[in-house]
Structure 1
Amino acid sequence: MDIPLDGRRFTWINKSASKMSRLDRVLISSNGGNYFEDYKLVAPPRGLSDNLPVLFSNNKLDFGSLSFKFFNSWMNRDEFDNVVIVAAYDVMENQAVHFNDKLKHLKNAIKSWALNLRINRNSRKVMVSCQINDIEGQLEAGNRNDMLLLERANISSQ
């Protein structure tokens, strides 16, 4: 069986891009599918070479749950202290709750806060991007004036 190449049709191209070919292939026996359930070939960016590297990939990889990420920059935010204090106060007084469960509660509170922070930041990016696109649309339509240019500069600098 010849495994299809994801994303690209050719693995080789000459310097002038007038000739292209698929030189690199991966062949497996017909019962190889029993060992690899969801396999494919992936071609990363070509770079400076005339050949594409070809990677044999199995999409069904499970490394378990993701670890908890903590960024030191969060501690510089005023609201982070409040999140930790409130979450700790909720469970620390209860002696019946195991320490591990107290840490889980704290982790979940921080994750929820971080998610809200990321959502707010992304919505702000979308809003600023829409404002800039609107201004640029007006500029492209010929409505060029100093106010629009100043507004665009102010929005871009935020």
Structure 2
Amino acid sequence: MRSGVAAGILMLLGLWRKGKVLEVIPAKKRKIGDFNEFIDKNMLVELPLVGKKFTWYKPDGFAKSRLDRFLVSMEWLQMWPTSKQYVQQREVSDHCAIVAKSWDKDWDPGPFKTIDAWLLEPGFKDLVKDKWNNYEVQGNRMSKLKDKLKLLKGDIKEWNRSIFGNIEESKRIIMMEIEKLDVKDAECDLL
């Protein structure tokens, strides 16, 4: 496959079988009719949607649409019959992220996150270094890493509340208000 800016952007259309892309359409030749024909030819279907009705909102609020979606093959559905696409909350972008899952419960541990403001706060890096170096954990390397990250996560949460207050709760309340407005707008067009 060609690479570089001069080669143009390629759109890979999602049927993969044994590591092969079935069709590649150069950006200059793309047309919506070609895309629809590709969908029909390969019998792709959209996963059931959970959550919001729209995945894109114009910043001024005058337009919204379902731009983002998962299209899958029948083979996919046979392998993962309970697959659904979940529309996530809109945060920074005008798009809502969507996640495909084939189960209703997500048993994975929550991700380890950092907030940029922490890195600017005097003493944060020293706190992390001191805490990390003083944790006493047992096991193999991966087990030690997992346990230290878990301990560090708890210590950082405590430190964050003492320095910044409960930002997560404030964010949660604001995000709930945005979600209510998005739902209300989907039902009766607020503008």
TM over 0.5: no
Structure with larger Rg: 1
Q: Is the helix fraction higher in 1 or 2?
A: 1
TM-score scaled by length of structure 1 = 0.36
- In terms of fraction of residues, the more strand-rich structure is 2
